Amino acid sequence: TGNFNKFDNPRKFSCHCGLAPFPYQSGSSIKGKTKTHFLRDKSLKSILTKGAITAAQHDPQLKAYYNRKIKDGKHHMSVINAIANKLVLRIFAVAKRDEPFVKLSA
């Protein structure tokens, strides 16, 4: 990540990792499911996905988020992908602010 200087924002980093799917579209037509870019960093996505699974099991906020989304009918991997994105947001916030992560009470 170039010490978090290579990417302007967490969304671009998520795209680089393959965590941000986009619909395939050409002009005015949209075809098929949303997909990630074929040049994504697969090893980084794997690490973030495994971290998201662990976070969904042990972090109370993310566990509640996971259970709520599953109850709403979302697919397991779709929710894990969303949690991985939340982790990327947390990582970038900690790196940019140069302060430890502080959990906010709900």
What are the extents of the domains in the chain?
A: 1-20+41-99
Nearest to residue 40, comparing CAs of 9, 11, 67, 14? 14
pLDDT higher than 70, residue 56: yes
How would residue 67 be classed by pLDDT, with cut points 50, 70 and 90? very high
Could you give the residue ranges of the DSSP H alpha helices within the chain? 10-17, 42-58, 60-71, 76-97
Q: What is the pLDDT of residues 25-47, one digit of tens each?
A: 666 766 667 766 666 778 888 99
How would residue 3 be classed by pLDDT, with cut points 50, 70 and 90? low
C-beta neighbour count of 86 within 10 angstroms:
18
